[in-house]
Amino acid sequence: MRQLTEGDVAAAPLPPGRVNDAWGSYLAFWRQGTRNDARAAANRFVDSLNDSGAETCAEFARWLCALLFDESDFWAGQWGGGMTQGKDGWHRPVAPVLTVHPLSVRVTLPYLLSSLSNPDSQHLRWAYQFTVGQSYRLPPAERRRWEDSLEALCGPGFAPIELLHNAQRDALARRMLRDAEED
Across the range 85-107, mean pLDDT stands at 78
Write down the pLDDT at residue 133: 85
Residues facing 41 on adjacent strands: none
Residue at 131: amino acid letter:
T
C-alpha 65/C-alpha 63 separation (Å) is 6
Q: What is the chain's length?
A: 183
| pLDDT over threshold 80, residue 25 | yes
Backbone angles phi, psi at 86, to 5 degrees: -110, -175
133-136-140-145 Cα dihedral, nearest 10 degrees? 40
Write down the pLDDT at residue 11: 94
Residues facing 90 on adjacent strands: 85
pLDDT in tens, 162-180: 999 999 899 988 988 998 8
Q: Judge if pTM exceeds 0.85.
A: yes
Angle between helical axes of 121-133 and 140-154 (0-180°, round to 10):
140
Quick one: what percent of the chain has pLDDT higher than 90? 59
Mean model confidence pLDDT for the chain: 87
